[in-house]
Structure 1
Amino acid sequence: MANSPEMRASDADRDRVAAILREHTAQGRITMDEFNERLEQLYKSRTYGELARLTSDLPDVDLRNRPAKVSDMPAKRTGLHPGMRAAWGAWAMASGINWVIWLIVSVTSGDLIYPWPLWVMGPWGVILLMSTVFGGQQPKKRR
């Protein structure tokens, strides 16, 4: 039986339309202000006809076959888990800052001082290297 515009809509119907509106917002068809206005009207809607008016000016969207986003694609360039890439980035940033401080102190003192940043980056780098080489590529998923 086809749904007539006067029939009452369910919460699942409203959730489906909300997902469609989110997708149109993500694709740039409607602004965030328009999205918020339509979402407010969506949860006030009672019938299929009211729900249909919210998306009548938008093309149909198949939520099951959406194009893959860049963030949905697995990281294949480095093969590292994003957390491990972040750990290496933090190590590189901290090492760089320490070397800059060492260089500034060496230049301003007029004497080449002991390269103490090695003690900061060395152990941390060894631990990261061991985790990268012998650790798993993906974190274990919680169930």
Structure 2
Amino acid sequence: MGGMANSPEMRASDADRDRVAAILREHTAQGRITMDEFNERLEQLYQSKTYGELARLTSDLPDVDLRHLPVKATEKRDLHSGMRAAWGAWAVASGVNWVIWLIVSVTSSDMVYPWPLWVMGPWGVILLMSTIFGNNQPKRS
């Protein structure tokens, strides 16, 4: 029996999902898919239950042989451009929100609720998780 030839309806494991996440990250780093597409696929990835569903996520991408990926890729902490772009977008959005909040606070006599925290928080946490753990999915509470 071919060890890797799993039937599409067979259940996928977390390790399988992590492998697909690594493949998707690699394609994002190489510019084949955008950050938005990467995030969409990542969402679908962690909802996927079977090999068939996993296979669909990478069906339009060339095979990346993860065995030939430098092992260091997961070790080293310098972020690839996709991650840097994501942090950049987060920083800009947060900055803009805080500026608006500040203006509103200054012009109104009352202390305005710091709503930018809600913009920064969840998004920042997810980014932080992806940055630190790479392919660990954010824990769904």
| TM-score bucket of the superposed structures, by smaller chain | 0.3 to 0.5
The structure with the largest alpha-carbon Rg is: 1
- Please report the TM-score for the alignment, with normalisation by the length of structure 1: 0.46
